[in-house]
Amino acid sequence: MTSRGEDQQAAREARLDELHDKLTTAVDQLVSGEDWKRALAFAANFRSRSFNNTLLIWAQHAAAFERGLVPEPTPSYVAGYKQWQGLGRQVQKGQPGYQIIAPVTGRFASASPQDAESWRRLGKFEKPRPGETVRSKMVGVRPAYVWDASQTAGDDIPEPPRPHLLEGEAPAGLWEGLAAQVKAARFTLAEAASASEIHGANGVTDYLAHTVTVRADMDAAARVKTLAHELGHVLMHGPDNQEARQHRGIGEVEAESVALMVGAAHGMDTTSYTIPYVSTWAAQVEGREPAEVVKATGERVRSVALKILDQLDTTQVGNGTPPGLERDTPAREATRQTFAADRPAPARREPVLAEARSL
């Protein structure tokens, strides 16, 4: 490589690094914003439920959907009648509650807690004797009823900003170039008529079947952005990548960051989709700040993006800063072991629901 070539290469890397820094900053701004905090505070009102109850809720919600009682096939926020009232919302007339199993607890008291025989159950209003230790214990179950948010009306439900599907044309030749790389990685490219065919996602990479599927019913810009995202998964997140397996959020952050870079190199601004998408998935990684999660992926993302860009014969933005991430941006697939579905993170859903979805 000539020194001029090396300079150019260094300049490209610097541009991608800069782009990634801006993404990190934008994610940080979004997750520290008021909308995000309100959405989190609201979500904190919903506890996760047992696996059995989650399945009960899902089955009954699906039945309600089939009867035309709820607009979405999958449940969102689910709570009891009085809890909804406490949140400023009322269950609407004619909406059936979903029956779940609630634990019944009793209060027990003992003067010598070490002795298992010494515990006695307290009556409803009975107070323990002085010096006694009191503990609650599950003594049985009873049926309880819960309703999905879509069965209630009242105060607004604060939601984190959502990714917006890109609109318009795709850069010339980009789809073909990315498709060739998917094929070169020995994956078959397929189309899904709509999101409902692929678990509500825009695209899916199946590492076992070796297929990449992209929704057909989106604008070309959204389709090509999705293809770049799935190619990112193909190149980075096979079954051997333990980190991405354990933290789906990291895999999604990486794939979408690659899509951002590939898009930007072609003058395509993907930020209205990428920033909320990356933010919600980064926020799913426990124990780390979202911006920190994004920042840590920088090197990997840059090298994969460069690899993809190097193999394209498209016209790429040669100089200057790529668009996107320039203005102040106001701004959630395991999936089984085998596939990664490209859709917003289940931030507003209970964690168990994400599991149940892949059953």
For residue 289, count CB atoms less than 10 angstroms from its CB and return exposed for 0-12, middle for 13-18, buried for 19 or more.
Answer: middle
For Zn ion, the closer of residues 53 and 257 by Cβ is 257
Task: Identify the DSSP state of 290.
Answer: H
Strands of 78-79's sheet, edge to edge?
Answer: 78-79, 133-148, 98-110, 120-121
Which one of residues 87, 255, 308, 347 is an interface residue with Zn ion (CB under 5 A)? Answer: 255
For the segment 193-252, give every residue that binds Zn ion (CB under 5 A).
252
C-beta atoms surrounding 159 within 10 Å: 16
DSSP characters over 291-303: HHHHHHTHHHHHH
Site string for Zn ion, 291-330 (x = CB under 5 A): ----------------------------------------
Q: Which of residues 264-293 bind Zn ion (CB under 5 A)?
A: none
Our CB check for Zn ion shows the closer of 148 and 252 to be: 252
Report how far residue 36's alpha carbon sits from residue 51's, in angstroms, rounded to the nearest whole number. 28
> What distance in Å separates the CA atoms of residue 323 and residue 24, rounded to the nearest whole number?
16
- The least CB distance from residue 284 to Zn ion, in Å, is 12
| Contacts (Cβ under 8 Å, ≥6 apart) of 343 | 195, 199, 200, 201, 202, 332, 333
* Residue 63: CB minimum distance to Zn ion, A: 30
Instruction: Kindly give the interhelix angle for 220-236 and 248-265, rounded to the nearest 10 degrees.
Output: 130
- As measured in angstroms, the least distance from the Cβ of 35 to Zn ion is 24
Least distance between Zn ion and beta carbon 294 (Å): 15
The nearer residue to Zn ion, 236 or 255, going by C-beta atoms, is 255
Interaction between residue 350 and Zn ion (CB under 5 A): no
The position carrying tokens 């993809």 is 308
Q: Does 345 bind Zn ion (CB under 5 A)?
A: no
Nearer to Zn ion, 148 or 342 (CB): 342
Please name the residue that has the structure tokens 């692929």: 198
Closest distance between Zn ion and the C-beta of residue 343, in Å?
A: 8
Q: Measured between alpha carbons, how far is residue 323 from residues 19, 167, 261, 328 in Å?
A: 9, 16, 10, 13
Kindly tell me which of 107 and 199 has the beta carbon lying closer to Zn ion. 199
In 3D, which of 173, 269, 185, 194 has the Cα closest to residue 233?
Answer: 185
- Comparison of 151 and 270: residue with beta carbon closer to Zn ion: 270
Closer Cβ to Zn ion, 134 or 208, answer by number: 208
CA distance 232 to 265: 15
Smallest distance, Å, CB 355 to Zn ion? 17
Does 342 help bind Zn ion (rule: CB under 5 A)? yes
| Residue 248 Cβ vs Zn ion, minimum distance, rounded to whole Å | 9
Q: Which residue is nearest to Zn ion (CB)?
A: 342
Stretch near Zn ion under the rule CB under 5 A, chosen from 93-101, 234-242, 255-263, 313-321: 255-263
The contact set with Zn ion (CB under 5 A) reads 252, 255, 340, 342
